[in-house]
Chains A and B, each alone.
Chain A
Amino acid sequence: MNFSTQGSAQVSCRCRRGLNVAGIDWRLFSCFCLLSVGSLFVGADTLVLDDLADPLSDSWLTLTASRLPRLAALLLAGVGLAVCGVILQHIVRNRFVEPATSGGLDGAKLGILVSLTLLPGVGRFGQMMFAVVFCLIASLVYVAVIRRIRFSNTALVPVIGLMYGSVLSAVAEFYAYQNNILQSMQGWLLGDFSKVVQGHYELMYLILPVVVLTYLYAHRFTVLGMGEEVAGSLGLRYAATASVGLFLVAMTVSITVITVGGVYFVGLVIPNLVAMRYGDNLKNTLPVVALGGASLLLICDIVGRLMLYPFEVPIGLTAGGLGGCVFLLIILRGGARG
């Protein structure tokens, strides 16, 4: 008897929240679909629907060579960055941490610079490997530092990360200045999807296996978030799992920085919003986080494309602005607890 009432309570709860089987709110999902379609039709060239049937038309070319690749890159970057944020937050056990506030992003930039000067002909994949290594080392150092210091104030953790990132950035700039590549480096500082065309973004697909791996490791990452002692008591090898997590983060960050540049705040805002509503059980919330990240980037990109139409505002600016505002709201509402 007791069991059946419990079951019906759960069902009614599900209906009220509009959750479907995959744990994703249908409203969020339809919003995401609308944004995706919308993204295809925004840009300097108007797509003529009637022409799309003809594979030789201009509209068809715009769609396949520019709009679809851009959509794919946006989705992959959004999903990847939001998922990265959530992993980092569980490893560091602080809600204000994301790749941009833990030195990871700056580490990746430094890696690309070093590869550009030391091995100019190494190609995108080689650059990515450099970025991954530097990003991973930078994140490992950050985590090691954070673990050594016992903070009473949780806001200090990302502040230290920002300082640390600035130091790495300064090193990168000095290095770039010495090697006369300061100008080309400025290009990656701000995320920008306008350069994404067929043939120049395919590296982004490497984010897919990273996201799949994260999903498979979701329970382990949640246990990581419980702290080293609980993790140890539950039989999780803490250091090994944290390293896997940092590696997945380094991969995603490096790939995004190389292809589209630095995009801030996605990894911060989305996980916080999702946690407020759905909690922190990653097995359930990762799909929502991924969808949310993609949607946020889509919104930022569409806003950036429409703001100075037919010119574009780089997504680094719109994401920073929009994300920053949302984040301020979260803090003011007291949703982001320590």
Chain B
Amino acid sequence: MISVENLCKEYADKTVLASANAAFPVGCITSLIGPNGAGKSTLLMMMAGLIKPVSGSVFFDGVPVGDIPVADYARKVATLRQSPGFNLRLKVHELVAFGRFPYSKGALSAHDRQVIDDSIAFLSLEHLRNAFIDELSGGQRQMAFLAMTIAQQTPVLLLDEPLNNLDMKHAVQIMQALRRLCDEQGRTVILVIHDINFAANYSDHIVALKSGAIHFNGPVYDAVTETLLSDLYELDFEIINSKRGRVCDYFTPVLENENEVDG
């Protein structure tokens, strides 16, 4: 459905992304992982059409995204970014209503209202419906923004670090909501994520980037291995299989091991 071909991006003379090729599986959660500055967010923003690539193209259903009008693309792909500068005083239901903007341009139909209610209910935000978003906690705020993105009812959702600055409970709530979006509604979710354990336990597919190149692209099972992750993050990883999933332990690097390898 969405794929990138030979995608390149440079700022001044620094190459952020060099000739990236990838196809993203439909109806799956794909996590973009990798160290800071690997080009994850740049790749995501180019797929969202919010940054123009230097060369190469993003394709949606085989059509180059550059050829799709912005207003049409907003009905195919919804993007959620961290928006620290967002200072509008809107109520939660008003914010979610703007998710219908690509369809209604403001005049909400009965169907639009239904979708807004459903999106709010999907994330169990009914009790916050009439709260102003600038008076919410960070986690509730992020949920409200996610509800707006869901209300856009696009087959593809792109999320840039949706778990940033959230406590564990809200992070789990958001990941479970994304899981349900895929499993119940068949939507494709692509997200940039730093917490490797969330990526390992909630995604179907992993695209790993390292210094502006795609390092790995495949199913999550093949991605979460000690060798691949150690190589990707240059950290010592231990994968622990538990009944509830896989845990990547990288918190305390084992120095003796390194010495042995070096020796």
Q: Residues of A at under 8 Å CB distance from B?
A: 2, 6, 9-10, 13, 93, 95, 218-220, 222-223, 225-227, 229-230, 232-237, 275-276, 279-281, 283-284, 337-338
Interface SS of A by simple majority: helix
Contact A230/B78 with A223-B101, A235-B70, A235-B73 known, Cβ cut-off 8 Å: no
How close is B147's CB to chain A, nearest CB, in angstroms? 14
B126 at interface, CB cutoff 8 A: yes
B198 at interface, CB cutoff 8 A? no
Q: Pick 12 A–B contacts, CB within 8 A, sort by A.
A: A222-B98, A223-B98, A229-B83, A232-B48, A232-B79, A233-B78, A234-B152, A235-B72, A235-B75, A280-B90, A281-B91, A337-B87
Q: Are B70 and A219 in contact (CB under 8 A)?
A: no
| Shortest Cβ gap from B3 to chain A (Å) | 20
Interface residues on B, range: 20 to 34
CA distance A2 to B73 in the complex (A): 35
Q: Which residues of B contact A237 (CB under 8 A)?
A: 70-71
Q: A337–B88 Cα gap in the complex (Å)?
A: 10
Q: For the complex, give the distance between the alpha carbons of A234 and B72 in Å.
A: 10
A237 to chain B, nearest CB (A): 6
Determine how close the nearest CB of chain B comes to the CB of A242; give it in whole angstroms. 14
Chain B, residue nearest A230 (CB): B83
- Which residues of the other chain, A, contact B14 by a CB distance below 8 angstroms? none
Given A6-B126, A226-B83, A230-B83, answer yes or no on A280-B98 (Cβ-Cβ < 8 Å).
no
Identity of the chain B residue whose Cβ is nearest the Cβ of A2 in the assembled complex: B126
Most buried by A among B80, B86, B87: B87
A163 to B123, CA, bound (A): 47
CB of B263 closer than 8 Å to a CB of A: no
Query: With A and B bound together, what is the CA distance between A281 and B102 in angstroms?
Result: 17
With A232-B70, A233-B74, A233-B81 already in contact, 12 other A-B pairs whose C-beta atoms are closer than 8 Å: A95-B87, A223-B98, A223-B101, A227-B83, A232-B50, A233-B80, A234-B101, A235-B73, A275-B89, A279-B90, A279-B94, A281-B91
**A219 and B126 alpha carbons, distance in the complex (Å):** 23
Q: Mark B171-194, 1 if CB is under 8 A from A, else 0.
A: 000000000000000000000000
Whether a CB of chain A sits under 8 angstroms from the CB of B130 is yes
Tell me if B245 counts as interface (CB < 8 A to partner A). Answer: no
Contact between chains at A279 and B91 (CB < 8 Å): yes
Q: Which A residue's beta carbon lies closest to that of B73?
A: A235
- Cα distance A223–B70 when bound, in Å? 14
Residues of A near B73 (CB, < 8 A) are: 235
How many A-B contacts at CB < 8 Å in the complex?
87
Interface 0/1 of B120-155, CB less than 8 Å to A: 000000100110101000000000000000001000
- Note all chain A residues with C-beta closer than 8 A to B50: 229, 232-233
Instruction: Check if B105 is an interface residue, CB within 8 A of chain A.
Output: yes
- State the CA gap A280–B98 with chains docked (Å): 13
* 5 smallest beta-carbon distances between A and B, as pairs: A235-B74, A219-B106, A233-B79, A235-B71, A280-B88
Question: Nearest chain B CB to A97's CB is how many angstroms away?
Answer: 12
**A229: chain B residues within 8 A (beta carbon):** 50, 79, 81, 83
Say whether B62 faces chain A, with CB atoms less than 8 Å apart: no
* Given A226-B98, A229-B79, A233-B48; A283-B88 close (CB under 8 Å): no
- Give A218 to B86 CA distance when docked, in angstroms: 18
Contact of A279 among B48, B70, B71, B132 (CB under 8 A): B132
| Residue from B101, B126, B130 in contact with A236 in the complex, judged by beta carbons closer than 8 Å | B101
Query: For residue A275, which residues in chain B have a CB less than 8 angstroms away from its CB?
Result: 89
Chain B residues closer than 8 Å to A284, beta-carbon distance: 94
Which residues of chain A come closer than 8 Å to B152, judged between CB atoms? 234
Are A338 and B87 touching (Cβ within 8 A)?
Answer: yes
Bound CA–CA A280/B83 (angstroms): 17
Considering residues A95, A225, A227, A230, which has the most beta carbons from chain B within 10 angstroms of its beta carbon? Answer: A230
Flag whether B56 is at the interface (Cβ < 8 A): no
Chain A nearest CB from B78 CB (Å) reads 6
- Determine the distance from Cα of A233 to Cα of B126 in the docked complex, in whole angstroms: 25
CA separation between A97 and B177, bound complex, in Å?
Answer: 39
Q: In the complex, what distance in Å separates the CA atom of A223 from the CA atom of B74?
A: 13
Is B89 a contact of A220 with CB atoms below 8 Å? no
